[in-house]
Chains A and B, each alone.
Chain A
């Protein structure tokens, strides 16, 4: 393997681990990035001549030395600790400490603009290019780059600690990390999500770093379940609702993996939003075995979710399930309890309303609700789905 290919491999595998160690040392992501990219540049020169036995340890040593140089040259930069001269590392890579959890907490710190939590994590923990991140967030590269640099400066200048938060702050801070990972996962879930793999990697990593946190496992399960249906979600450019999907198109290996996370979460006995969302997915996934949808189980789970996390999405999800389990009148009544303005501006609420109105034979009202849902929807596969539902009203047997 050429030095370039070997380096690309090492970079992918260990970028986040190395950057986390260096950032924690320096208390500064920007300096750590400089030192690490310097080490990669040196590797390009040295590795073709002589491949080190442990490339990751080699990079860490060179980057640490570079950090010390920067510290000497630029006395204005404050370092958190005295850095001893590192001995040449020849230890195996798996004894290199893992500071990525610390780095994830820093990226999702409440003093950092919440919009940057996800991009910052993708860039520092996974080494993702700012251009790729910008594309996923539908922003010009320069805007994304500016936000990232501003956040890194704030981390350095405001003195955000590269430490695991105090126990009393931990639950809130873990939620911020989970939200940041969820943010990567929920980008463009309908189409080809460039970040789905990254989100799953981060969630799975977090299950290793915080193995006893039920919600961490819940999120990993949720992402795995959703990812298992990536190939079934859109057929011929048209959205396919979960209950109409063909389970033969689902990825069974991912479903099993998701089930593993969820089972581990449930033994911990602390229920939370992500576990409930994952459990809802699990009920749907059971269709691969039972062939039917257990609406009563779904109703219970949706009721729990709308209590724990009373978001508009959860409320509509509950109303939708209630209508399927108990009848369209009940579903419609639950929907109409939502604030009128909120209801009118949320496409899934309009689509659900249209569905129940159709069931009740109130076709003119259903048509109007579909029209509103279509206006509120930008994603082409969803629009196509709603438009065909609307067109089908003309052939509806009364």
Chain B
């Protein structure tokens, strides 16, 4: 089954993280993506710019707005799509995600399963 892991964090939490820890986190994240690839389960991954860069199109395309669709304390920071047998396997990968330490990882099953 395909699952997408969505990472959520509070930007203000990162404001207080020292630069060297941020650099370390980048390395950890790279190693994590490497492990997903090595396991042969990674289908897609991306890491997003902060919500301050977001643009939202709504009302059937009639409304274009600066900012995110929903103002929330935790913001979506990135996603990884993995192909694994079941939810427990997806959960065990989500637990290993370095972002999990700073925020949350939401797991959503794919609706377009082939």
Q: Are A159 and B91 in contact (CB under 8 A)?
A: no
Binds A, one of B28-36, B70-78, B81-89: B81-89
Cα-based distance from A246 to B72 in the complex (angstroms)? 60
Cα-based distance from A78 to B3 in the complex (angstroms)? 15
Q: Are B113 and A169 in contact (CB under 8 A)?
A: no
Is B68 positioned at the interface, with any CB of A under 8 Å from its CB?
Answer: no
Q: Are A169 and B109 in contact (CB under 8 A)?
A: no
State the Cβ distance, A109 to closest chain B Cβ, in Å. Answer: 8
State the Cβ distance, B81 to closest chain A Cβ, in Å. Answer: 14
Binds B, one of A160-168, A188-196, A290-298, A382-390: A160-168
Cα-based distance from A16 to B3 in the complex (angstroms)? 30
Q: Which residues 80-114 of B sit at the A interface, judged by CB distance below 8 A?
A: 85-92, 107, 109, 113
Is B39 positioned at the interface, with any CB of A under 8 Å from its CB?
Answer: no
Cα-based distance from A6 to B88 in the complex (angstroms)? 40
Given known contacts A111-B91, A159-B1, A78 and B113 CB-to-CB distance under 8 angstroms = yes
What 0/1 pattern do residues 161 to 204 of A give for CB contact below 8 A with B? 10101100100000000000000000000000000000000000
Q: Which residues 265-280 of A sit at the B interface, judged by CB distance below 8 A?
A: none
Cα-based distance from A157 to B111 in the complex (angstroms)? 9
How many residue pairs link A and B with beta carbons under 8 A? The number is 29
Q: Are A163 and B86 in contact (CB under 8 A)?
A: yes
User: By the criterion of a CB under 8 Å from any partner CB, how many residues of chain B are at the interface?
Assistant: 13
> Please, which residues of chain A bring their CB within 8 A of the CB of B3?
159
Cα-based distance from A169 to B88 in the complex (angstroms)? 9
Q: Which residue, A78, A159, A166, has most C-beta atoms of chain B within 10 A? A: A159
Cα-based distance from A157 to B113 in the complex (angstroms)? 11
> Please, which residues of chain A bring their CB within 8 A of the CB of B91?
111
What is the chain A residue whose CB lies nearest that of B3?
Answer: A159
State the Cβ distance, B109 to closest chain A Cβ, in Å. Answer: 5
Is A342 positioned at the interface, with any CB of B under 8 Å from its CB?
Answer: no
Q: Which residues 342-376 of A sit at the B interface, judged by CB distance below 8 A?
A: none
Q: Are B109 and A158 in contact (CB under 8 A)?
A: yes
> Please, which residues of chain B bring their CB within 8 A of the CB of A78?
113
Q: Are A161 and B109 in contact (CB under 8 A)?
A: no
**Dominant secondary structure at the A interface:** loop
State the Cβ distance, B105 to closest chain A Cβ, in Å. Answer: 13
Q: Are B113 and A111 in contact (CB under 8 A)?
A: no
What is the chain A residue whose CB lies nearest that of B2?
Answer: A159
Q: Which residues 145-160 of A sit at the B interface, judged by CB distance below 8 A?
A: 157-160
> Please, which residues of chain A bring their CB within 8 A of the CB of B88?
160-161, 163, 165-166, 169
> Please, which residues of chain B bring their CB within 8 A of the CB of A160?
86-88
Interface size for chain A: under 10, 10 to 19, 20 to 34, or 35 or more residues?
10 to 19
Cα-based distance from A169 to B89 in the complex (angstroms)? 11
Cα-based distance from A165 to B89 in the complex (angstroms)? 10
Cα-based distance from A196 to B72 in the complex (angstroms)? 45
Q: Are B86 and A161 in contact (CB under 8 A)?
A: yes
State the Cβ distance, A285 to closest chain B Cβ, in Å. Answer: 40
> Please, which residues of chain A bring their CB within 8 A of the CB of B109?
157-159
What 0/1 pattern do residues 28 to 52 of B give for CB contact below 8 A with A? 0000000000000000000000000
Q: Which residues 241-289 of A sit at the B interface, judged by CB distance below 8 A?
A: none
Cα-based distance from A38 to B1 in the complex (angstroms)? 29
What is the chain A residue whose CB lies nearest that of B89?
Answer: A161
What is the chain A residue whose CB lies nearest that of B86?
Answer: A161
State the Cβ distance, B101 to closest chain A Cβ, in Å. Answer: 19
Cα-based distance from A100 to B85 in the complex (angstroms)? 21
> Please, which residues of chain B bring their CB within 8 A of the CB of A157?
109
What 0/1 pattern do residues 95 to 113 of A give for CB contact below 8 A with B? 0000000000000010100
State the Cβ distance, A294 to closest chain B Cβ, in Å. Answer: 45
> Please, which residues of chain B bring their CB within 8 A of the CB of A165?
88
**B85 touches which of A111, A161, A169 (Cβ 8 Å):** A161
Q: Which residues 43-99 of A sit at the B interface, judged by CB distance below 8 A?
A: 78
What is the chain B residue whose CB lies nearest that of A173?
Answer: B88
Q: Are B87 and A111 in contact (CB under 8 A)?
A: yes
Chain A residues proximal to chain B, CB less than 8 Å: 78, 109, 111, 157-161, 163, 165-166, 169
A-B contact pairs, 24 of them (CB 8 A): A78-B113, A109-B87, A111-B87, A111-B91, A157-B109, A158-B87, A158-B107, A158-B109, A159-B1, A159-B3, A159-B85, A159-B86, A159-B90, A159-B109, A160-B86, A160-B87, A160-B88, A161-B86, A161-B88, A161-B89, A163-B86, A163-B88, A166-B92, A169-B88
- 6 tightest A-B contacts by CB? A161-B86, A159-B1, A160-B87, A159-B87, A159-B86, A158-B87
Known: A158-B107, A161-B87, A165-B88. 11 other contacts (CB 8 A): A109-B87, A111-B91, A158-B109, A159-B87, A159-B90, A160-B87, A161-B85, A161-B88, A163-B86, A166-B88, A169-B88
